[in-house]
Structure 1
Amino acid sequence: MTVIDDDARPPVPGASGYRSRDALRAAQMYYLQDLTMNAIARELGTSRSTVSRLLSMARETGLVQIQVNNPSERAPALEQHIRRRFGVEAHVVPVADTVSDSEALERVAIQAARTIGPLVDSNAIIGVAWGSTLSAVSHHLTRKLTHDSAIVQLNGAGNTQTTGISYASEILRRFGQAYGARVEQFPVPAFFDHAETKTAMWNERSVRRILDLQHRMTMAIFGVGSMGAGVPSHVYSGGYLDARDLEQLERDRVVGDIATMFYRADGTYRDILLNGRSTGPDLTLLKKVQRRICVVSGESKIHGLRGALAAGLATDLILDEGSARRLMHS
């Protein structure tokens, strides 16, 4: 548990100086002095419910950073098994089997956001994919000040029904706001109609600027797309693929995608036709990024996850307990 002195951090956006200081004082008394909320309320001359709100504010704005140390040698057996079998740093989120898919996603998103934060440093170029999972994660990011960092969109978001700008930009904005980083959008469709169009666009200087940032990424954060997920992947539910596209994916034996780049169960992807029209990052390029954080919620995504691991696309994996068990035992 770390409580950060308010004098050592920038002002909290959207909060008055007095309220920020009250949140800091409440956090110090609660976490460092072991005072009860009733005792803090008496000392601050306020109500217990106000103290509860101040403590929530302290966590949400980064005044308090909660860290659970989990050394590899004492990690739960399931995480150790995943590390040994797949060669990734695993974080298994405890979720009961009775929990709904949407609630499981929310809980995975919360832990993912708190796991990602300490890994983000200054001078970072962080590639972020859009989608249902990353949208959920973006709502729970805690603030951490960095310098000269950038959040770059991994793949275009437009289709025949929408530009996709508002959907993707909100996810990117939350990441940028959390880490004090500039945001670089990628204003192209998710898929071009023709591979030749993509080739031509990739030679444009405005596009090449984003591609250059992607080539220099120090971290990439993404989910796994799957047609059969309990919480449908946005690329499959948002009108990005028509019937012919879906039939082609079936012929190519596709099991999932990362940032709209598709792959098979054995991890192969080079000759999948739709990848030639996708604006997602070449998966060979993605594998060169030093830290690649994959967030997964829902057992129905296991086939897609297994294919991603077979392709070596992740270095870190954050997933729910049920998915972790199925990954190891099916």
Structure 2
Amino acid sequence: MRKQSDALRAAQMYYLQDLTMNAIARELRTSRSTVSRLLSAARESGLVQIEIRSTVESAPELERAIRRRYGVMAHVVPVADTLDEAQTLDRVALQAARTISSLVDSNAIVGVAWGSTVSAVSRHLNRKITHDTVIVQLNGAGNTQTTGISYASDIMRRFGVAFGAKVEQFPVPAFFDRAQTKEAMWQERSIKRMLDLQSRMTVAVFGVGSIESGYPSHVYAGGYLDEDDLRSLRESKVSGDVATVFFRADGSTDGIDLNDRSSGPSHALLRQVRRRICVVSGAAKINGLRGALVAGLATDLIVDEATARRLVDSDLAAEAQPQM
């Protein structure tokens, strides 16, 4: 309690009174390094939340271009070209965690899709006090090799701890063997309760899965799809997925048979959610990202600079092509 009280006093003097760390150290009769640790503790515990507001007029060029093209609020994360894909993901996940924290308030129902990107985001979430908030899993995680409970529950638990929220897991497979089995399961009262929660989401958090990514999406690398499934996706020209619901680069889903067996939310349901936060890292996901944006699945996009640049440049190149 004493440390938290000191962290609060230091944060108030630093952020609200504009005192220097040296001045705070003198007032608290401690060292400058101790003040620095107190300020770090205040941020990590949620006593302090730092928010950078970006208006459309002052947003950087790439963010404005993405907003004009796709109608989303874009947050482009500057990342050095020297970083590898895992390091880039970590930078993007850190900013995404802070953005998500600013958008989640009390009485929220937050839908969370498991995956490599969202897992990285969950590890960077700081605590924020909310009341009567619920975290609901968007898609099942079981497959023929594992129940998926451990992997998905770790992500959900981190979100629950961060917001002091109740966690509702979705105890079904990621993909059913038969569409008829899914239809029957969706009539069960326990599953209907979960579907009702999903239908009342106020915030949704998800990444974009891609079979082409150098940092493999979990749905493609975790034993969820066999060779027949992958062949079917290639034949349907699938470019990516959100919460294990697949789509093409033009955002379409018609005729993709695997979606009939998927436990993920339909695009129509997802588009009803007020804030839909899409987190993407890695230029290899460009086709999947474009499909998700064209489909209108996101209201907010958090993306690394290289991927954002490639998205904008490829859009400009496509527009410059002569019409046949």
TM-score by length of 1: 0.91
1:1-330 superposed matches below 5 A: 17-330=1-314
- Per-residue deviation at 1:116? 1.4
- Per-residue deviation at 1:47? 4.2
Instruction: Kindly report the root-mean-square deviation, in angstroms, between the aligned alpha carbons of the 2 structures.
Output: 1.5
- Per-residue deviation at 1:215? 1.1
Looking at structure 2, the residues matched to 316 and 225 of structure 1 have their Cα atoms a distance apart, in angstroms, of 17
- Per-residue deviation at 1:38? 4.5
CA contact (8 A) 2:281 2:303 kept: yes
- Per-residue deviation at 1:284? 1.6
- For structure 2, which runs of at least 5 residues remain unmatched after alignment? 315-324
In the alignment, residue 234 of structure 1 is paired with which amino acid?
H
Looking at structure 2, the residues matched to 196 and 128 of structure 1 have their Cα atoms a distance apart, in angstroms, of 26
Looking at structure 2, the residues matched to 51 and 222 of structure 1 have their Cα atoms a distance apart, in angstroms, of 37
- Give the 4+ runs in structure 1 shifted more than 3 A: 32-50
Looking at structure 2, the residues matched to 174 and 47 of structure 1 have their Cα atoms a distance apart, in angstroms, of 33
Looking at structure 2, the residues matched to 202 and 304 of structure 1 have their Cα atoms a distance apart, in angstroms, of 28
In the alignment, residue 202 of structure 2 is paired with which amino acid?
T
What's the secondary structure of 2:206's corresponding residue?
strand
- Per-residue deviation at 1:117? 1.4
In the alignment, residue 34 of structure 2 is paired with which amino acid?
T
1:5 match? none
- Residues 146-182 of structure 1: CA deviation (Å, up to 9, x unaligned): 2222111000011112111111111111112222221
- Per-residue deviation at 1:322? 0.6
Looking at structure 1, the residues matched to 17 and 105 of structure 2 have their Cα atoms a distance apart, in angstroms, of 30
Counting matched residue pairs gives 314
Looking at structure 1, the residues matched to 87 and 32 of structure 2 have their Cα atoms a distance apart, in angstroms, of 28
Report percent identity of matched pairs.
71
